[in-house]
């Protein structure tokens, strides 16, 4: 091992890290831990560089007067790319469609999930465990695989090319997971807090809306935002179920406008991609704190 012994002073200076860091000790271990840290930092920087390249291209190309396919500092700065895509046809209509589609689907998902989670979390019954296992089982099914039959089914029942049919399907595809999460969050709300409401003669619905949901507010918003992010980025479902151009959400319309990969206006494509991705990135930042802290998988991966 190379003897890059960090001077004892430097280690203390950068110990701004989280709880996982070993406390800096005295003696030879100090130089070892700072050596380890340096190696870890270098490793991360390499990965960071690799992961950043495509994102840097996106930002540069969107403001470049003459963008190419490789990462390069813009030859000249311009907002032309953005102003060219900010039209009804390219941006506003598809984004509005996305909002309608994913907004209504998210509303359905969280409403149905919150309602279903209540009895599953609060009552005991013989069928609640099999029900939950079925839900968990459905979270794993590759939804992609059912899209061909769903298309056939939607043609038969006249739901094809309708916003409401598509949002119903989107809502359902996200539902098992939302129910599972919602139930886990609800389990965390002590039942004693409900008792007061019960003794005041509140119905289960009042107990749910007035007591539980306010108490699990952060959890509720995580489920909501998470579902929305998923639907916003979903390409395959609207690609299969919506046909008329004026109803297409942004995920699919991007294809129609920039679809023929022969002659792409890269600057405009990059500008549109930024506009289309910004909402979900911002929403993710809103829930990132909750995701980062004590995050486990479906509430359930234990190492």
Partner 1 sequence: MSATDLGVVGKEVPGRGEPPRDQRLVRRRNPWRWLPIAPATVLLLLFLAGPIAYCAYIAFTDMQLTGQASASFVGFDNFTKAFGDENFRNSVVLTLVFTLISSILGQNTLGLTLASLMARSTKAIRSITGAVVICAWVLPEIVAGFLLYTFFSKEGTLNEILAWLHLPSQNWLFTLPIMAVSFANVWRGTAFSMLVYSAALSEIPKEVTESAEVDGAGPWKRLWHITLPMIRRSIGTNLMLNTLQTLSVFGLIWAMTRGGPGNRSQTLPIFMYDQAFNKSLIGYGTAVALLLLVVGALFSVVYLRLMREEV
Site for partner 1 in 81-110 (CB under 8 A): 108
- Choose which of 9, 27, 28, 54 interacts with partner 1 (CB under 8 A): 54
Selected range binding partner 1 among 76-84, 89-97, 153-161, rule: CB under 8 A = 153-161
Does 5 interact with partner 1 (rule: CB under 8 A)? no
Q: Which of 187, 280, 148, 155 is nearest to 227 (CA)?
A: 280
Sorted by sequence, the CB contacts under 8 Å of residue 38 that are 6+ apart come out as: 4, 6
Under the binding rule (CB under 8 A), the answer on residue 36 touching partner 1 is: yes
Strand partners for 64: 77
Single residue of 16, 27, 28, 201 touching partner 1 by CB under 8 A:
16
Tell me how many residues contact partner 1 (CB under 8 A): 135
DSSP element (H, E) containing 210: none
We find the least distance from the C-beta atom of residue 196 to partner 1, in angstroms, to be 11
Residue 60 binding partner 1, by CB under 8 A: no
For residue 98, the number of C-alpha atoms closer than 13 Å in the C-beta half-sphere is: 25
Q: Is residue 77 involved in binding partner 1 (CB under 8 A)?
A: no
CB burial of 1-24 (b: ≥16 within 10 Å; e: otherwise) equals eeeeebeeeebeeeeeeeeeeeee
**Are 232 and 96 a contacting pair, CB within 8 Å?**
no
Query: Is the sign of the CA dihedral 109, 110, 112, 114 positive or negative?
Result: positive
Q: Is 58 in the site for partner 1 (CB under 8 A)?
A: yes
Nearer to partner 1, 77 or 193 (CB): 193
212 sits near partner 1 (criterion: CB under 8 A): no
- Segment interacting with partner 1, rule: CB under 8 A, options 53-61, 73-81, 86-94: 53-61
48 scored as a contact of partner 1 (CB under 8 A):
yes
Does residue number 209 form part of the binding site for partner 1 (CB under 8 A)?
A: no
| 266 within 8 A of 61, measured Cβ to Cβ | yes
Among 179, 211, 213, 241, binds partner 1 (CB under 8 A): 179
DSSP state of 23: P
51 binds partner 1 per the rule CB under 8 A: yes
């Amino acid at each position: 091992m190379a003897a890059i012994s960090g001077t004892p002073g430097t280690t203390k200076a950068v110990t701004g890290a989280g709880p996982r860091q070993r406390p800096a000790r005295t003696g030879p271990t100090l130089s070892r831990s700072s050596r380890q840290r340096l190696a870890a930092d270098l490793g991360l920087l390499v990965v960071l560089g690799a992961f950043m390249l495509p994102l840097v291209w996106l930002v540069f190309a969107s403001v470049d007067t003459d963008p190419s396919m490789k990462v390069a500092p813009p030859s000249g700065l311009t907002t032309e790319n953005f102003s060219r895509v900010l039209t009804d046809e390219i941006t506003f209509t598809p984004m509005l469609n996305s909002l309608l589609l994913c907004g209504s689907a998210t509303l359905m998902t969280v409403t149905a999930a919150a309602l279903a989670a209540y009895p599953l979390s609060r009552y005991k019954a013989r069928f609640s465990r099999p029900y939950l296992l079925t839900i968990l089982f459905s979270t794993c099914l590759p939804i992609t695989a059912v899209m061909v039959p769903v298309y056939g089914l939607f043609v038969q029942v006249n739901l094809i090319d309708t916003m409401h049919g598509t949002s119903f399907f989107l809502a359902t595809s996200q539902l098992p997971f939302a129910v599972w999460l919602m139930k886990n969050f609800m389990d965390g709300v002590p039942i004693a807090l409900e008792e007061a409401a019960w003794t005041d003669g509140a119905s289960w619905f009042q107990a749910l809306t007035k007591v539980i949901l306010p108490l699990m507010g952060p959890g509720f918003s995580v489920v909501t935002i998470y579902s929305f992010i998923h639907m916003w980025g979903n390409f395959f479902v609207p690609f299969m179920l919506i046909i008329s151009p004026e109803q297409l959400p942004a995920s699919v319309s991007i294809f129609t406008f920039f679809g023929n990969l022969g002659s792409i206006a890269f600057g405009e494509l990059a500008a549109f991609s930024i506009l289309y991705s910004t909402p979900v990135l911002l929403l993710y930042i809103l829930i990132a704190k909750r995701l980062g802290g004590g995050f486990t998988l479906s509430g359930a991966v234990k190492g």
